[in-house]
Each structure stands twice: as structure tokens, then as C-alpha cells.
Amino acid sequence: MKYGFLILTISALLISRVAQAEPLLNASYDVARDFYRQFNPAFTAYWKQKTGTDIIVQQSHGGSSKQARAVIDGLDADVLTTNNPLDIDAVAAAGLVGKDWARRFAHHASPSWSTILFLVRKGNPKHIHDWNDLTRADVRVIMPNPKTSGNGRYSYLAAWQYALTLPGGDDATARHFVAALLHNVPVFDTGGRGATTTFVQRGVGDVLLTFENELFLIRKEFGDQGFEIVAPSISIRADNPVAVVDKVATEKGNTTLARAYLEYHYSHTGQELLAANGLRPADETVLAEHAAEFPKLRLFSIDDWPKTYAKHFADGGVLDQLMTTEAAGS
């Protein structure tokens, strides 16, 4: 009897894959949950109206790189929505996504983007206004580990870029500047959400470096009474690229649906929903309509991700060197 049940269950599970229409699976990063909770019903309704078919969109969330890894290892995601291009490159290198993925959708396949801002405690008691304040001896900085988190990587790169733009700035001064900043970080959480918890709930540190959309969430969850947002003089443009996982979508017969799903991110509804969730819409006109929430910033982008990664974040790269000196010095 025990076996009967077992065999039944297992065969039911195997058969169920074939019997029902395949739902669309979106492997996405952690903080995009709220957005997709609103976007998916909107898309389902749109698709129903357009084609008359009912579809189910399933979500899987995790760290952006972890999700890419899962797709490489066999997670049946039709689409991959990430917070940095390196993750899609990794899936492309494994042969599951075409190498030209960035040209398949508008704006380098990034329907939205975000940037790194500062969150300080009410009244800004430490007078933190720009990147150079973060290297002061009396300031404790909270940011996630750049080695494990896209969020941390953007903060690191933005600090590097700031140092380069200073008079006489070059790689040597930037190195010195970023080393001083890292020295002020008492704890490196592995992800953005962990850093938020450290700063907001545990009350550690004077300033939190994180994505604008994460700050949007903090404001929503914890009210803005205890905190203030500070926009530095320069920050980084963090694209949120998307791609159809060709191999999986083809296997599941979902190619058209998957494409339409990603296209819908660029529709007016999609762009508005992105803006409503603290993500800067790629569409300039929609962004301009939300100028109050998204103040104009001086921004720079990373053009060559593989090169940047190799220089800073690969094993033995600049980050490792700085962290080792840091550990040896303390």
C-alpha cells in the first residue's frame, strides 16, 4: 500500500508535466517581487483580451546571480529578469540564451533601471552629502558585499568612478579612496536585503548604500520618519535587463508568449507599474512624468561589463586585493 501511494504520486508528478498547459515561469531577482505581483495579473488580463487564452505566470525569486545559476542548472524558466547584465551573459555562455540578447529588446533589453543612493538617519546627524563623506573616520557605512551582491558591486563601482572624477583622479587615487570607504564598513551582508536589515532594524551604521527601489520599499515599510534619502553628486546607472531563455521556452512551446511577456514591460502599463514600484522606467516620457519621485542625477554607465568584472571582481582582482589589505591592516 505504501508503495502504491508512492508510485501513484511520482507518476502523477511526471505525467502532470505533460498533461496541462505549461505555465510561463519568470526567474527574477529578490526585490522585484512587488512589481511582478502587480505586473503579472495585468499581463494575464492583456493576453486574455488579445488572444482569448488563459495563462498562468509563475514566479521564482532569489539573488539575481543565484537565479541565473539555477537556470543554467535546469530551472525551467522561460524568461529571466535580472538586475545586472553579467547574469544574462552567464546564461548565454551556457548556451541557453542567444549571445545577442541585449539587442532583442529596446534600451539594451532593459525595460527599467535604478541607481545607488544613500539612506541616512533622521536629520542627517553625520552631515553625509556625497561619496567623500563616506571615507571620514567617524562614519560607518553599510553596504552589501560587492563580491556576492550586484547591489554591492554598483556601490563599489560608483565610489570608484567618483574618485576618478576628482581633480587628479586616476586608478591609484581611486584605489586609495575605495579602500578607505571599505575600511568604514563594519559588516558586509551577502545581499541588499541583509544590508537593509542591518541598517534599518539592527540600527547599525550611519549610512546605507543601496538601490533607489530598495529605498522606496524601506520608505513604504518603515515610514520615512526615521530616515532621509541623500542623492550623491554622481551615481551609477544600474540596468535591469531581461531575456527569453530560448532553449527552455522552445522546449515548452512558450516562445511567442515569453516574448510578448517581456515586450509588455515596455508598454505604458508596464512602464507605469515599474515607476510605481520605485524602478526608473526606460521610456523617457514616462520617466519625465515621474520627475518628482525620480530626481535627475548625474549618472554614468558601465559599457564593458566583462572587462569591469575581470578587473575588479574576479578572484585576485582589485576588490580582493583591497579586502586582503584591509583584513591584514585591521
Q: Which stretch binds other proteins (CB under 8 A): 58-66, 202-210, 268-276, 304-312?
A: 58-66
Interaction of residue 14 with other proteins, rule CB under 8 A? yes
SS (H, E, C) the chain: CHHHHHHHHHHHHHHHHHHCCCCEEEEEEHHHHHHHHHHHHHHHHHHHHHHCCCCCEEEEEECHHHHHHHHHHCCCCCEEECCCHHHHHHHHHCCCCCCCHHHCCHHHHCCEEEEEEEEEECCCCCCCCCHHHHHCCCCCEECCCCCCCHHHHHHHHHHHHHHHHCCCCCHHHHHHHHHHHHHCCCCCCCCHHHHHHHHHHCCCCCEEEEEHHHHHHHHHHHCCCCEEEECCCCEEEEECCEEECHHHHHHHCCHHHHHHHHHHHHCHHHHHHHHHCCCEECCHHHHHHCCCCCCCCCEECCCCHHHHHHHHHCCCCHHHHHHHHHHHHC
Interaction of residue 74 with other proteins, rule CB under 8 A? yes
Question: Closest separation between CB of residue 191 and other proteins, Å?
Answer: 9
Which CB sits closer to other proteins, 32 or 282? Answer: 32
Question: Closest separation between CB of residue 73 and other proteins, Å?
Answer: 4
Interaction of residue 9 with other proteins, rule CB under 8 A? yes
Question: Closest separation between CB of residue 37 and other proteins, Å?
Answer: 10
Residue in 38, 44, 60, 255 binding other proteins, rule: CB under 8 A: 60
Which CB sits closer to other proteins, 181 or 243? Answer: 243
Interaction of residue 98 with other proteins, rule CB under 8 A? no
Residue in 13, 19, 137, 291 binding other proteins, rule: CB under 8 A: 13
Interaction of residue 2 with other proteins, rule CB under 8 A? yes
Residue in 143, 208, 217, 244 binding other proteins, rule: CB under 8 A: 217
Binding mask 32-51 for other proteins (x = CB under 8 A): -xx-----------------
Chain residues in the site for other proteins (CB under 8 A): 2, 6, 9-10, 13-14, 17-18, 25, 30, 33-34, 58-62, 70, 72-76, 94, 193, 217, 221, 251
